[in-house]
Structure 1
């Protein structure tokens, strides 16, 4: 079951937002925002902590710890309920629309009486938003885009939440006596960034014990349908999970079928028909009445009987994988085991939650050969970075280099790409860093030409080796910037600048279709965590999924390379 930490994080963030929207103390609101991030990133489940232990989480003070303790005891936070009572629920929904936020939501309510998302959309279409201070010419367009983005995301669950739940379900069912095999399938196995539901597949001679154990799981809120071969439940968060139990001899065919995608399966069935066969979730049969079953026990057998090698699930989208398989040209996809390091991480020097030493210890425990700390640069004013702070951190990095299981420690920074493509520090200061990640953190509404120009200029900077979260999107919360990505990709290939696949589940930026296009234009990639806590150092598993969907091999990813080879790349030599 997903940890309670994420639930508490959301409540504390809501409390911080409500303090802001009601005109409360800004410092207090920021303190609760920091506490929310700290709880979300804390490696231990808060459900097992008392108030005193909760105060041991950096950023969680006594008052916050008491509120968390109150929620653990009673399921509610009275102070939060009081704040909620001050604001109509529709206004809270409005402030969740991308580009709005707490202050603008309150201004819309105060000046135009907008108390729901539908009313906001109506006002935007009618051109009324200009009557409110802070809303410019393009505000209506962006808000309508944000509403559509939120509606598209409705009912879908992020890959991290779905994976945590699916893995727990698979572990629980695998321990049931009589269970022979169990795995999750569907879009989650294909590593889609969000899922509509979770498909779990199991084999057993008798399905009854598995079905009983499934419906008795503690996070099941409703049994939608129950039967001997399929049972569907819904969790308290509204996510549907389907369990199918098949005979052991049909495991392979069922796993192919229920993994999908639909388009991939249609192609496989068409190939079967052309060969005089019939493919279903029960196996591959000879066509015609009473046709013999040929294979069904393993995926490898099913694909081989169709003249194909086994195709990795992230590729099963009918985007050329079947043709590549027929030609014998399927890539050896990059895996998490191939990663030798992480090139984009943060500490509590800026907006991270853990100290440099804590992050290094956690990274070394992952077996990394090298690791870069890339705290924010000074143009992100809220992080209060100075030259002196950065140089002091550099001295500490040099001191700690090699002390954690001989892991090389790189001193880097995440620079801010300004609206004209400039970055925070002059070249002579940037020359002292081992690696510079440059990212857009503001001016998201610039036009296509301006966004393209600023990213190309950043690529051309001789001190920038990686472009971080290139389209700036936040899944379900912020649309990507309008940019000519092909032009940026060509600049990356020309200048020897890597494109990041940001593994943070809320970003997963670049997307898989962009990865395929960039690779075709000669771009190299870095699969990074963008970790702000030790727990988030596991984020690359999701970036790996995106990379696999984009067809990347270890050769394409610079942080699978040896340190000596990576070091040459960081000197900004264009790839050959």
Structure 2
């Protein structure tokens, strides 16, 4: 169900990892990593390109284009399969552990014959790595945390993967004759950052055709159970899909029943019981007479319980029932409220598309304003210079207002150093419309030092937004350790917005941190951190997480008119 671009990206990234594991040329591994990113971020479907078209993608040369062509033609890439055969599958699994790179994975296998995550966990507990060079106490502790992260993720998949799969299934089932309604529910509809399984609902009079259609989808690898009311399958990527077919008149009740978290549903069923009612996936019924009182829409089910409709992203039993009863339920921010993106990149640094393409893509999304924030010199690998950024500013000013009257903001993503310092002196920073400041290194500072570092960055009068604040990578890297309440208080005091980074592997801040920060009176910016044109569509994930954090449009600075936004970005200067 993934785009060919995504499939090839994963394959090339795996090849880069395999090259590194087997002691291959580091430059070759890096070349394949770059090609993987470029293909993953390429806006067109690579299946429509010939070899010459593939070579027009940045970082894709003749050799890599030939391998991609082979995969598109045969479904396999010979060099990858040859590399896979050189090492046990368990060793390849080891590099999925956050904090354990290819070289260490190979050393574990060669020296201790460790070829699985469970063997590595046991070896650490038995102190069997103590004499192995490069595996000191700190490294072992990091690996232990990495294993915990991996196990915690379990069979869960990222929000973006689950959403792509669900939308494909919904589209297929919606075409089946007799389908009145079809939608996904469950934790995906609540926009959880990871999803364990998919709940898909169909409203129809008969179920047979839908159960058969799901079982026969190309992505279905295994039929777990098939019945008249429910069928469960597992996709080729290991994601379980549960399909339920309900009568059309029960649609609203079913969506309410299968969307909320368990705790939320217990609360709504308890409210029903206290009113002499019974709530199920088929409707809200009078207990004594059995008469249906509400079922067709979620709104009428909630209304009959004495509640307003509650947005799916809030249905976690985190106070939404009480807020609804007291008329204090927030009108959460939506995609339509977002007027512009305030954190994006171009190929001037590590982005994949030129400035003009990113600007045009943003204009097509209907934005009122759009910021370009390429990396500053603190990340030396990006080779940024004063001359380059000033030339970009001049070109941006030329483009300003030419794309559907969308206004362009020139910004930069600054690197927060170990002591909280940022790139460029104050007089140079004064020339930018906005500055995003982010952590990109030194993630292991102690709690007190990390807190001071972040607070000092917020206190910089030119830092408007704290980018991907915790630096977490979901399932791969824990966020940095800091006194977050102190950081949130500093953001509120200095007028620094906290970013809700919409990159699917970040979603940073997460919803629980948003809820805490909101109590401090912090403002937020929902940004994509786009490094390619397709990444601009990641906004939906950031908005979903913002909703889970109860954010309203007034909480989010990039829903504001440009005049109000500019005042905020100046931080009172």
TM-score, normalised to structure 1's length? Answer: 0.96
**What SS is found at the alignment partner of 2:228?**
coil
Counterparts in 2 of 1:455-494, with a 5 A limit?
455-494=454-493
1:307 and 2:306 matched: yes
1:5 and 2:5 matched: yes
CA distance in 2, matches of 1:547, 1:300: 23
Residues 356 and 134 of structure 1: CA distance in aligned 2, closer, same or farther (over 3 Å): farther
CA offsets, 1:220-243, max 9 Å, x none? Answer: 222222222211221111111111
**What SS is found at the alignment partner of 2:85?**
helix
**What SS is found at the alignment partner of 2:371?**
strand
Between stretches 353-362 and 415-424, larger displacement belongs to 415-424
Shift of 1:79: 1.4
Gaps of 5+ in 1: none
The answer (yes or no) to whether the contact 1:354–1:533 under 8 Å persists in 2 is: yes
Q: Which residue of 2 aligns with 1:296?
A: 295
Counterparts in 2 of 1:162-241, with a 5 A limit?
162-241=162-241
Q: Which residue of 2 aligns with 1:61?
A: 61
CA distance in 1, matches of 2:101, 2:6: 20
CA distance in 2, matches of 1:107, 1:207: 54
**What SS is found at the alignment partner of 2:441?**
coil
CA offsets, 1:15-68, max 9 Å, x none? Answer: 112222333222222211111011111222223333222222222111111111
State how many pairs are aligned: 573
The answer (yes or no) to whether the contact 1:503–1:529 under 8 Å persists in 2 is: yes
Q: Which residue of 1 aligns with 2:48?
A: 48
Between stretches 561-570 and 41-50, larger displacement belongs to 41-50
1:280 and 2:304 matched: no
Residues 14 and 459 of structure 1: CA distance in aligned 2, closer, same or farther (over 3 Å): same
CA distance in 1, matches of 2:302, 2:333: 21
Between stretches 124-133 and 344-353, larger displacement belongs to 124-133
Q: Which residue of 1 aligns with 2:266?
A: 266
**What SS is found at the alignment partner of 2:443?**
coil
Counterparts in 2 of 1:437-448, with a 5 A limit?
437-448=436-447
The answer (yes or no) to whether the contact 1:125–1:140 under 8 Å persists in 2 is: no
CA distance in 2, matches of 1:117, 1:458: 38
The answer (yes or no) to whether the contact 1:340–1:559 under 8 Å persists in 2 is: yes
Q: Which residue of 2 aligns with 1:548?
A: 547
Q: Which residue of 2 aligns with 1:536?
A: 535
Shift of 1:136: 4.4
Shift of 1:485: 0.8
Counterparts in 2 of 1:39-438, with a 5 A limit?
39-288=39-288, 290-438=289-437
Gaps of 5+ in 2: none
CA distance in 2, matches of 1:265, 1:372: 41
Q: Tell me the C-alpha RMSD between the 2 structures.
A: 1.6
Shift of 1:121: 2.0
Q: Which residue of 2 aligns with 1:571?
A: 570
CA distance in 1, matches of 2:381, 2:21: 19
**What SS is found at the alignment partner of 2:442?**
coil
CA offsets, 1:375-405, max 9 Å, x none? Answer: 1122212222222222221221122211211
**What SS is found at the alignment partner of 2:408?**
strand
Shift of 1:263: 0.6
Between stretches 174-183 and 109-118, larger displacement belongs to 109-118
Q: Which residue of 2 aligns with 1:501?
A: 500
CA distance in 2, matches of 1:466, 1:341: 14
Shift of 1:506: 0.5
Shift of 1:131: 3.4
**What SS is found at the alignment partner of 1:138?**
helix
CA offsets, 1:195-246, max 9 Å, x none? Answer: 1111111111222222232222221222222222211221111111111111
CA distance in 2, matches of 1:479, 1:398: 39
Between stretches 382-391 and 257-266, larger displacement belongs to 382-391
CA distance in 1, matches of 2:21, 2:426: 41
CA offsets, 1:131-174, max 9 Å, x none? Answer: 34444442211110100101111211111111111112212222
Shift of 1:285: 1.1
**What SS is found at the alignment partner of 1:86?**
coil
**What SS is found at the alignment partner of 1:131?**
coil
CA distance in 1, matches of 2:133, 2:568: 48
Residues 146 and 304 of structure 1: CA distance in aligned 2, closer, same or farther (over 3 Å): same
Between stretches 242-251 and 388-397, larger displacement belongs to 388-397
Shift of 1:124: 2.8
**What SS is found at the alignment partner of 1:507?**
coil
CA distance in 2, matches of 1:395, 1:23: 45
TM-score, normalised to structure 2's length? Answer: 0.97
